[in-house]
Amino acid sequence: MRALEVALKEELRRAGLSGRGAPARLLAILRGAAETHLSLAEVMQMATQSGLALTSLRLAGHLETLADHKLIRRWPTTTAEPVFDTVPEAHAHLIYEDTHQTVDLHVSPETLLAIIRRALDQWPDGVEILIRLPANSISDADSNTAKPASTFARDWTEDPSPNP
């Protein structure tokens, strides 16, 4: 337990945050959760059960701070309530619509492409793919210069796949 506490304090310190107080306790609660995609209501329930008494507004503020410092991620959602991903590293997700299960995929790009190909083969009209680009910029592979991520799709004038 002590090693985990030290690791969390170091992670917070590297992110420029204090290793004490509510944000530190909240990050410990999130890292200990079995589920990695949590709504504000779910985090509130976990915090309350752990003895961390915060208002919903204050809790939302702490979650936003943790996300701004890249200790957790905002989950893209169309719901009114924010959802957070407790795994800060970039990774893929597989969402099973019938069971509402989300599986984190920590796989190589090659494996991810194989999964996508298989899914498209099995359900050619039933697969939806979301690619989230960073808010800051992406590199242009041809010129090694940064470009706004919003230009990513506009740069494709035809199918970018190498296969004819």
* Contact between residue 8 and residue 28 where contact means Cβ atoms under 8 Å apart: yes
pLDDT at 1: 59
pLDDT at 114: 95
Please give the residue that has the higher pLDDT: either 85 or 101. Answer: 85
Q: Where a domain ends, among 56, 85, 114?
A: 85
With respect to residue 140, please indicate whether it lies within any of the assigned structural domains: yes
Give the chain's domain count: 2
What is the CATH number for 40? 1.10.10.10
Determine the structural domain holding residue 66 and report its residue range.
Answer: 2-85
With respect to residue 105, please indicate whether it lies within any of the assigned structural domains: yes
- Chain segment 62-71, per-residue pLDDT in tens: 999 999 999 9
Angle between helices 40-49 and 56-68 (to 10 degrees): 110
Q: Where a domain ends, among 41, 61, 85?
A: 85
* Contact between residue 30 and residue 11 where contact means Cβ atoms under 8 Å apart: no
Global pTM value = 0.73
CA dist 106 and 143 (Å) reads: 29
Are 101 and 49 within one domain? no
Are 123 and 148 within one domain? yes
